[in-house]
Amino acid sequence: MFFLWSFKLQPCPKISKPFIIALLGPALFHTIGHISACVSFSKVAVSFTHVIKSSEPVFSVVFSSFLGDSYPLKVWLSILPIVFGCSLAAITEVSFNFQGLWGALISNVGFVLRNIYSKRSLQSFKEVNGLNLYGWISIISLLYLFPVAVFVEGSQWVVGYQKAIETIGKPSTFYIWVILSGVFYHLYNQSSYQALDEISPLTFSVGNTMKRVVVIISTILVFRNPVRPLNALGSAIAIFGTFLYSQATSKKTVKKNEDNKNI
């Protein structure tokens, strides 16, 4: 983000104390969501983590309902195949363990609460676009994470670095992989926020569903993870449920926008 702001590729937002305070909560949930996702990736197959993460709409509906939002019956019905599909995928997953499962579930909770409180706490900062909002959430998240990482794992960094170099073979390869991982992760989020500004919610939801399919299939091909037929069926049902949820909620959003225009 500093690179984009420095070279005027992205307008730098005006920062104020209320703006930073409003981001403290969303950034904390973002940190929790990202750490737990990485923990899950380290414990189970990447494809399985993404299947479980496709259940994020379930948490979104439940937490939003507790906070006062209401959803039509078809939205609630759309989360049933998500729950069933994820459950079927979990009980048939070859690499299954509870640490990986709980990591993915906690990640869902963290990112859902980040999204909910981002909308609720930033109503007064609508002039900040999505990319700048995500950039500052990431920066504050770094400030949260760095001292914790030093305290919890600081004594293991040297040993871990040496093992990584031994496994990969060359220090330069290790650095390139770490840098590319960070760059691609940021570009993925950047493109998502920019796409949401340019296309309809329905089109975005379809693309987001296809993203899950591409990621899961790609990780299976790259890492050669064994997939049982019932596991593949459960994954497909969960992703299909995510698509149904996306359609149901996008229609709800369109209707809400039309009602606001009429008012």
Give the rounded distance of the alpha carbon of 180 from its chain centre: 18
- pLDDT reported for residue 202: 54
pLDDT in tens, 147-166: 999 998 888 988 988 888 88
Residue whose tokens read 């979990």: 90
Query: Helices 17-43 and 98-121: crossing angle, nearest 10°?
Result: 160
Higher pLDDT residue, 243 or 251? 243
- The CA-CA-CA angle for residues 190, 249, 63, to 5°, reads 85
Looking at this protein, which amino acid is placed at residue 91? Answer: I
In this model, does residue 78 exceed pLDDT 80? yes
Say what the pTM is: 0.82
pLDDT in tens, 98-121: 999 999 999 999 988 888 888 777
